[in-house]
A and B are shown apart, each in its own frame.
Chain A
Amino acid sequence: MSKRYQEPIELKLSGNRKPEAFVWRGRNYKIKDVIRHWTVNGDWWQKESRRLHAIVTAKRWSEYGQYEIVYEAKRRQWYLYRVYD
């Protein structure tokens, strides 16, 4: 089960450019690992943005959860896309 969002987040990268944490609704989520990632191009002829999806395990306070974050290339913005139960 999961819940869908489309809210902007701020992604933080480590020194070797790996995702380290993201900030959503003012709260910091520390990324433990990237489970998997993929890209889709969308309808490029309709000028839809290329998107990079990643499912990450992240922790807020002491709780771990799985989150799907998405990068929209056109807007150069990361979003929280889905939270898995």
Chain B
Amino acid sequence: MKSFTRRSEGNGTCIVSMTNANFVHLHVHSNFSFKDATPHPQDLIKAAAYYEMPAVALTDHSTLAGAIRFYRAAQGSGVRPIIGTEIELASGHHLTLLAENLAGYSNLCRLLSAIRLAQPGVTRPVTSWETLAPLAENLICLSGCAHSRLSQDLIQRRQEAARTFLQQLASVFPNSCYVELENPLLPYTPTLLAALTSLAQELKLPLVATNNVHYLRRRDHPVRDLLVCMGANISLRQPHPYRHANDQRYFKSSRAMSQLFAAYPQAIANTLAIAERCQLELPVGEYRFPDFALPAGQTATSYLRQLCQQALEKRYGTNCPEAQQRLEHELGIIKDLGFCEYFLVVWDIVNFARQEGIRCTGRGSAAGSLVAYLLGITAVDPLEYDLLFERFLNPERKGMPDIDLDFDSSRRDEVLAYVYSKYPPAHVAMVGTVNTISARSALREVAKAMDIDKNEVDRLARFLPRLAADRIEKAIATLPELEGQFPQGEPWDSLLRFCQAINDFPRHLSVHLGGVVIGRHPLTDLVPLEWSAKGVVITQYNKDDIEYLGLVKMDLLGLRILSAIDETVRRLEQDDIHVDLEALPFDDPAVYKLLRSTKTVGLFQLESPGMRELLGKLQPTNFSDIVANISLMRPGPMQANMVSPFIRRRHGLEPVSYAHPCLEPILASTYGVIIYQEQVLQVAHALAGFTLGQADLLRRYMTHDRSPEEMAGLEAEFVAGASNRGVEVDIAKQVFKQLAAFASYGFNKAHAATFGLIGYYTAYLKAHYPAYYLTALLNHQPMGFYPPRVLLHEARLWGIPIYPLDINASQPEFTLENGGIRVGLRALQGLTEEHIATICAVRKERPFSSLADFRWRVHLPRKVMRNLVRIGAFAAFGTVPDLLQQLTIYEQPKSRLPQGQCLLPLPPEAHAPASSPAPDLKRAISTELELTGLYITGHPLSLFRSLLTSYEAIDSRRLRTCADGQKVRVAGIIVSRQMPPTRSKQRIIFLTIEDEYGLIDVTVLPQEQKKYAQVALGCALLLVEGTVRKTGPESISVTAARLFDLRRLA
């Protein structure tokens, strides 16, 4: 039996004494050696524990990306984690480096950062002695695996080269250099081992045995082999230097390793000696806030107070005791938790944005903080909307505050540039995130490596919904649209098995959406950095790792809707219409009329099919209704049956009652239904006397899986508190049950209010200035629920004329023109920014007068030119067929011309447009969809209308007049497909289709999916036969009985 004791030296060193241990794996790869190894880092700890090894190292290729989760998995496991890496020198030598302590770990971070930052985009970067030597202290170096240059030199009898290398290594790592012996049982191994030991003896260097682990079990070798082929983009039939000839590089037991190195017992013993030296303890549990430059004579606490007090008096006046009391309460907690500096850092960033006129808003539970509101971080008054500070910062639970900031997407880079300029560059980086292998990509890549037909796999992958790679098999077995589609037998069975095996494997690092880490000290003291594919410096650690190390991460997100709002307001300003959104009252009748009509395409958070249906049922009349709408439109409330009672009570169809009078002020606004997490806190506080902090802990407890015993304990505590306040036990139990049922599904009201505010702004702008707003929306795609073609059609339905792309009139972006929307040049696929800039610059001199004039003055690639003609950009100069004919003539090579005739470039007056028939509508719509993704001239359904009439299909206008239960046929082009979780756990497909007059929502129930799922999920144009379902004054959908591919019927 092993035993050990552990004590911290307080300087990043932790001493663990070991007894009865035999061997430690010191050269080990996890799947963070991307596509080169299979074990998850935490599984290595489990393997070491299983084999009773006291420690295990992680040495991925030039990265520490898996190191923190490896380290965390080791805590409490009895296995000590040794953090290291395998690097490669430019000479081809591999080195295994292990951190002895915190100083060594910091050197690893700095070394890897230096290596990666010098070689962006290189999967296996190399380094030099010059980079390595200064950072060698407190690192133990193993001379490298059998793949390295050292081994090759010895196998090929280049003794002198091998000797020189080892001598240099020993000088860089004095007393910390070991000659690494690896025995993968290959033909050359005995020769190599003999040569290495001989050289080590000559140079008096100690030996160490490793197994260069790449997988846990021998049988995992094929998966690893496959991953290598995927990474190298080759098939299994092709050789590659990274592929192993056998399956010996697995996590062998101590016994197996001892047998393997029976002739070199010291090499085995030295693994323990090295592990004994490696005693790293990471400095976790303390926050490292960045240094904030304070005004002279101020502390962080006093400065924060000053800013808040000034803002409070400005917003609430000097006589508002409620606000003052709340402020004191919050500042007290913030100070006690040590977060004053954090708030100042966030305030500074927001302050910069506001000064530069960059729209920004804080989201999430931070909106519950008066301090955040006063600092301008959030925009919703927490006092007015009854938002709770303890839901954001809980004094009972020490945790980093998390304030996410949304900025105008088009100007977020300015904010980032400010952060980088404000703090030393070495102290700032974007946070990395790990992209993992998904079902679709797994299927395709594994199939490619296995040489399976690409077309067949593509066809299948198209049907796969977004799911994890290990759910493919279940999806194939259960989804009706995949029934009979997936072939049986080999190689398909192996394909699925491999997909399952690589589920959730890390694929590569990329930039987290908005995470920025700012350190008090250079980040590379604790975190290795590298370049992302987008050319941004990122941490090799993800946000969880960053938080674990106590570093401050901020989410500085770009929100395109803020860009659209900003553009709308600016365009209005240009036309002398002044709109101050921050000063808007929340009682504009036009806004609520729009929301109740459910014509909310383009509105932030209020446009999805489910949201439109809910708006139609709920019929909002005030801002609280918007907040409730956003909170209810989620799987949780629907599954917990919160929505129906809320709506029925709101419309007086069901009585509202409260278990206890003290609940009425808390639940009156939501008709007795618990919707918000804040309400759970308030109920626990009011009824059972919990502090708000304790109440939030209770809420959190309830949202995680608890055993019946644990829940019984919570209930007892709750009931006892309520009894102390004179509440009857039965009532207390009833309320506790209600809380327990809804706690998991409650939404953060502060978050909903923040989003509701933006939603309100967008509703206001659309209601009053639809042309401006929809133009701006089109200019900031992609965003929102619907594609641009739906937005453009929405504009048409609002009576806004749509002007097609025109070579003289179109700007790069969508613009307003004569009360309508002019399609911008950017809408045309293949037209680059360079082309657009040229067109705009040239026509500034004078507008284009003909196709020939354009060709004379602007030179574009042939295909782009043809597309411009086809889309009708030159419609002022002729019809598309005529112009294409002209173009064909221009494109003729000179050799085909009669002698003496020169065609290119032509004088502008050379060709006059010939007269031709009116443009073909079908061709126009088809071309527009092909080249822009929009329908400009008309809607595709108009081409089918006469056919649809013969099928007695009605349009979306008539659908609104139908009665509940009426049988109908409708048709449309697919706009969206959703399959959200449902109360019954069965899959329901929600479709939205669009015809010339609007959107139609269609529901396909499980029974109909058996026959029609393929049509529902695979076809673009649908004819639906079904029954009308009316669930509210403006809430109408069709429950499908049959679905048809409209193109097949035509």
Contacts and interface: CB of A to CB of B under 8 A. Distances in A.
Interface stretch (B165-173, B245-253, B745-753, B931-939): B245-253
Interface stretch (A25-33, A42-50, A59-67, A75-83): A42-50
Nearest to B189: A38
A40 B246 contact: yes
Nearest to B222: A44
B247 A39 contact: yes
B450 interface: yes
A36 interface: yes
A41 B185 contact: no
A45 B248 CA distance: 17
Contacts of A37: 185
B907 interface: no
B425 interface: no
Contacts of B981: none
Given A37-B185, A39-B247, A44 B225 contact: yes
B247 A50 contact: yes
Nearest to A35: B190
B317 interface: no
Given A39-B248, A41-B247, 12 more contacts: A36-B187, A38-B185, A38-B187, A39-B185, A39-B186, A39-B246, A40-B246, A41-B244, A43-B237, A45-B236, A45-B450, A45-B494
Contact of B246 (A36, A43, A45, A50): A50
Nearest to B221: A41
A13 to B, nearest CB: 15
Contacts of A53: 187
A38 B222 CA distance: 18
A46 to B, nearest CB: 9
Interface string B228-246: 0000000011000000111
Interface in B190-248: 190, 221-222, 225, 236-237, 244-248
Main secondary structure of the interface of B (DSSP, over half): loop
Contacts of B190: 36
17 contacts: A36-B187, A36-B189, A36-B190, A38-B186, A38-B189, A39-B185, A39-B246, A40-B245, A41-B244, A41-B246, A41-B247, A43-B237, A44-B221, A44-B225, A45-B222, A50-B246, A50-B247
Nearest to B235: A45
Contacts of B187: 36, 38, 53
A36 B190 CA distance: 7
Contacts of A39: 185-186, 246-248
Contacts of B237: 43
B763 to A, nearest CB: 58
Nearest to B245: A40
Interface string B174-193: 00000000000111011000
A43 B190 CA distance: 24
A28 B186 CA distance: 28
Nearest to B450: A45
Interface residues on chain A, size class: 10 to 19
A53 B189 CA distance: 13
A53 B248 CA distance: 14
Interface in B43-71: none
B603 to A, nearest CB: 53
Nearest to B188: A38
Contacts of B225: 44
Interface string B242-282: 00111110000000000000000000000000000000000
A53 B221 CA distance: 19
A50 B245 CA distance: 10
Contacts, number: 34
A32 B597 CA distance: 93
A44 B222 CA distance: 7
Nearest to A45: B236
A36 B194 CA distance: 12
A43 B237 CA distance: 8
Interface in A12-35: none
Nearest to B451: A45
Nearest to A51: B246
Contact of A43 (B186, B236, B244, B247): B236
A3 to B, nearest CB: 19
Contacts of B236: 43, 45
Contacts of B494: 45
Nearest to A41: B246
A-B pairs with the 4 shortest C-beta distances?
A39-B246, A36-B190, A45-B236, A38-B185
B495 to A, nearest CB: 11
A64 B221 CA distance: 38
A41 B247 CA distance: 7
Contacts of B246: 38-41, 50
A2 B225 CA distance: 33
A47 B298 CA distance: 74
Nearest to A50: B247
A79 B244 CA distance: 24
Which of A36, A38, A44 has the most chain B CB atoms inside 10 A of its CB?
A: A38
A45 B236 CA distance: 7
A32 B813 CA distance: 85
Residue among A41, A43, A53 with the most chain B CB within 10 A? A41
Contacts of A45: 222, 236, 450, 494
Nearest to B243: A41
A59 B244 CA distance: 34
A40 to B, nearest CB: 5
A39 B185 CA distance: 6
Among B190, B221, B246, B494, max chain A CB count under 10 A is at B246
B222 to A, nearest CB: 5
Contacts of B247: 39, 41, 50
B245 A41 contact: yes
A44 to B, nearest CB: 5
A45 B190 CA distance: 29
Nearest to A36: B190
Contacts of A44: 221-222, 225
A73 B362 CA distance: 63
A73 to B, nearest CB: 10
Nearest to B218: A50
Contacts of B185: 37-39
Contacts of A40: 186, 245-246
A41 B186 CA distance: 11
Contacts of A38: 185-187, 189, 246
Contacts of A50: 246-247
A53 B187 CA distance: 9
A41 B215 CA distance: 15
B262 to A, nearest CB: 12
A33 to B, nearest CB: 13
A83 to B, nearest CB: 17
Interface string B965-993: 00000000000000000000000000000
Interface in B550-606: none
B815 to A, nearest CB: 58
A13 B237 CA distance: 37
A44 B245 CA distance: 10
A40 B185 CA distance: 8
A53 B186 CA distance: 9
B973 to A, nearest CB: 44
A38 B245 CA distance: 10
Interface in B501-531: none
B596 to A, nearest CB: 62
A48 B190 CA distance: 26
Contacts of B186: 38-40
A39 B221 CA distance: 13
A7 to B, nearest CB: 22
Contacts of A43: 236-237
A40 B190 CA distance: 15
Nearest to B236: A45
A41 B224 CA distance: 13
A43 B245 CA distance: 9
Interface in B284-321: none
A34 B187 CA distance: 13
A34 B487 CA distance: 48
